[in-house]
Amino acid sequence: MQTDEPTADDVVQTASDAAEGYVFSQYKQSAVRDLDVTVTFEDGVLEVDVYLNAPGDEETADPEQVADDAALAAREAVDELFGE
């Protein structure tokens, strides 16, 4: 019996890709000193944690806000994955 539900691996990969994609839409890859995206999906619960070490000055986005927005982008991507 085949199910249309995404696997846990699909969910984790989708969330991770979306978070990283968002970060690199805000910063050049060479400007990011460190990026760690941790995603877990167990018992239907998605947890996304984004650590970002990047420059924060008047010319670039605030790293804390970008990390928060990247986590939101990851959640939205997973919502879309389940909504398809």
pLDDT digits (tens, 9 = 90+) for 17-66: 999 999 999 999 999 999 999 999 999 999 999 999 998 776 778 999 99
CB count, 10 Å around CB of 62? Answer: 13
Which structural domains are found in the chain, ordered by start? 8-83 (3.30.300.100)
pTM of the complete model beyond 0.85 = yes
Q: What is the pLDDT of residue 60?
A: 73
